[in-house]
Amino acid sequence: MSQTENTVLELRDISKRFGVTKALDGATLKVRPATVHGLVGENGAGKSTLIKILAGLYQPDSGSILLNGQPVTHLQPATVEALGIHFIHQDRLLPATLTVGEALFLGKEKTWFGLLNRRKMAREAERYLAEYFDIALSGHALIGELSTAEQQIVQITRALLSSPRLIVFDEPTAALIKREVDQLQKIILRLKQQGIAVIYISHYLQEIETLCDEVTILRNGKNVGTVKPVDVSSAEIARLMINRDVTEMYPKAKVPLGEVVLSVNQLGLSGHYQNVSFTVRQGEILGLTGLVGSGVKAVVESLFGLKQPDSGTIHLAGEPVRISSPTDAVKAGIGLVPEDRRRHGIATSLTVSENIALASLRQFSRLGFLSGKKEAAAAEQLIAALHIKTSSKDAYLSELSGGNQQKVAIAKWLQRDARVYVFDEPAVGVDVGAKVEIYRLIGELVSKGAAVILLTSDLLELTKLSDAIGVFYRGEIVRNVAAANTNVDEILAVATGALANPPAPIAHHTQQAALENVSVQLN
């Protein structure tokens, strides 16, 4: 049997241009039956374009596509599933207003005398979910009421009803908690045992190493290798992705701590958090973490005026401040790089230059008129400093990869020169190379005397970058400790309530120490 005949899918020499940008340059991908095949690369490496070609959303400029050794042309979204290819996306789930039964049989509805038989669809949905995944979900439950993991299970079950040859998982764990990640990985391994091929796309190399039989690595639209994780380390995969050594994955700036910049005292907001106190000094990174609903996110939103506390005080440089709106926060010298950059951090319909200027319009204005020359000069300087990959300062932000969009979101506040920078999950959804650059940028900020609050659910990121760590549990900081005096296991135990009586808080202004190589996702 030839190598081509022993493949479910083969993409040969695929090229695709968008204007002057070459997104794919002779890329190839070969997926064998009953295997999990990883697809990795930096943001902008061509992964999304390759998958969109497979989904029929784009047509390649050149190259060929083979399914089970047979060439196929002009793939269309409406026909891809009929060929046995299904997609599980991180952010394009089933309609929230459908029931589980309706979602499972979407497009293949059960009817009775020409009317929708919702009761039958609900009953069969429950049976299939129990049979395939041993999970008890009501067929009448709304999709919007389910957890992200449960929604993905419904999607996977829907695919299984069509006897798929190949299922593509596109960043499936980005919105999952640790327990759900483990559950999804078991499901994927079960699919493999059933003879189904899987393409697995993820920025989390630990997942790639654990799940995948083979991994194809893209860089600048080209293949730079297909490897087996049993033969190479995740560090080597990362090196191939970005073409440089990544042994220093978490660069930590060693900065002497200065005066207290931000002081939060007994802050409370009914139903969200209570008795929250902490300080952040010049040159310090304070890491905050906690489970979903622990209150940590609400505290960060209060610091930026998005939620109003009903008790406690906030001081900046020793002076009391009242932050009633984001405008107040910006005037006080607080900058926020939000987790959902597309909704809250950037404007994809504006250019790179316009986005960078958004938080600092007064700097570029005179007598109410905006100076395009000043704005352009500032944008060019920050594009170079942050290594933002863009065709020009005038490119629309929607044209940039996720990692480069995140850099623009940071550049917006660098231009403002804030006193306190709040980073909410700064590295979520970006590749390993972009993560390192973002971490270096955070280090540069504290080196210049800024104070940084880092809200993250990646515990390795938390422990490697922070000077001090505050762990939230049920609305309170229950552990406030120097990063050098704790570890990933202890933080996880405190955040989940497994450590019922955490040790007393320790003075926390010491530098970060190296920790064991463990990565845990809380949120």
Average pLDDT of the residues in 57-70: 94
Q: What percent of the chain has pLDDT over 90?
A: 42
C-alpha 480/C-alpha 458 separation (Å) is: 17
Strands laid side by side in the 319-321 sheet: 273-281, 260-269, 311-316, 319-321
Tokens for 191?
A: 């699919």
Would the pLDDT of 4 be above 50?
A: no
Average pLDDT of the residues in 3-19: 84
Tokens for 110?
A: 């059960």
Average pLDDT of the residues in 115-120: 91
For the segment 468-523, what is each residue's pLDDT rounded down to a tens digit? Answer: 999 998 889 999 999 999 988 888 778 877 664 444 443 333 333 222 232 333 33
pLDDT of 134 reads 82
Would the pLDDT of 254 be above 60?
A: yes
pLDDT of 177 reads 61
- Most confident range (mean pLDDT) of 202-206, 270-274, 404-408 is 270-274
Strands 451-455 and 285-289: parallel
The answer to whether 44 and 401 are in contact (CB under 8 A) is yes
Would the pLDDT of 198 be above 90?
A: yes
Would the pLDDT of 92 be above 90?
A: no
pLDDT of 406 reads 75
3-state secondary structure 233-267: CHHHHHHHHHCCCCCCCCCCCCCCCCCEEEEEEEE
The answer to whether 465 and 253 are in contact (CB under 8 A) is no
Mean pLDDT of the chain: 83
Measured between alpha carbons, how far is residue 273 from residues 269, 308, 371, 459 in Å? 5, 12, 44, 21
Q: Residue 2 — very low, low, confident or very high, per pLDDT cuts 50/70/90?
A: very low
For the segment 318-349, what is each residue's pLDDT rounded down to a tens digit? Answer: 999 999 998 899 889 898 888 765 555 567 76
Measured between alpha carbons, how far is residue 156 from residues 5, 122, 211, 219 in Å? 26, 16, 17, 30
The answer to whether 29 and 11 are in contact (CB under 8 A) is yes
The full length of the chain comes to 523
- The more confidently predicted of residues 20 and 367 is 20
Average pLDDT of the residues in 105-125: 90
For the segment 344-401, what is each residue's pLDDT rounded down to a tens digit? Answer: 556 776 788 777 776 555 565 555 555 566 677 777 777 777 677 787 788 887 778 7
Strands 9-18 and 21-31: antiparallel
Q: Residue 427 — very low, low, confident or very high, per pLDDT cuts 50/70/90?
A: confident
pLDDT of 505 reads 40
E-strand spans in 58-129?
Answer: 62-67, 70-72, 85-89, 111-112, 115-116
Would the pLDDT of 306 be above 60?
A: yes
Would the pLDDT of 456 be above 70?
A: yes
Give the closest residue to 312 by CA, choosing from 350, 374, 250, 266: 266
pLDDT of 450 reads 92
Would the pLDDT of 285 be above 80?
A: yes
pLDDT of 66 reads 95
Would the pLDDT of 124 be above 80?
A: yes
* Biggest CA pair distance of the chain: 76
* Local structure of residue 510 (DSSP, 8 states): S
> Residue 242: phi, psi to the nearest 5?
-110, 0
pLDDT of 492 reads 78
pLDDT of 522 reads 37
Helices (H) and strands (E) in the chain, counts: 16, 24
How many C-beta neighbours within 10 Å does residue 182 have? 13
Tokens for 256?
A: 């002497």
pLDDT of 246 reads 54
- Least confident stretch, 7-21, 27-41, 381-395: 381-395
pLDDT of 344 reads 54
- The residue whose two tokens read 């044209």 is 399
The distance from CA 168 to its chain's CA centroid, rounded to whole angstroms, is 18
- Most confident range (mean pLDDT) of 124-128, 246-250, 372-376, 416-420 is 124-128
Would the pLDDT of 237 be above 90?
A: no
- The residue whose two tokens read 């905006």 is 370
Question: Collapsing DSSP states into helix, strand and coil, what is residue 459?
Answer: helix
pLDDT of 42 reads 75
The answer to whether 396 and 340 are in contact (CB under 8 A) is no
Residue type for 127, please? R
Give the closest residue to 432 by CA, choosing from 254, 172, 234: 234
* Local structure of residue 489 (DSSP, 8 states): H
- Compute and round to an integer the Cα radius of gyration of the chain: 25
> Residue 390: phi, psi to the nearest 5?
-150, 150
Give the closest residue to 7 by CA, choosing from 115, 165, 118, 154: 165
Q: 380 Cβ partners below 8 Å, 6+ apart? A: 393
Strands 197-201 and 36-41: parallel
Q: Residue 176 — very low, low, confident or very high, per pLDDT cuts 50/70/90?
A: low
pLDDT of 236 reads 84
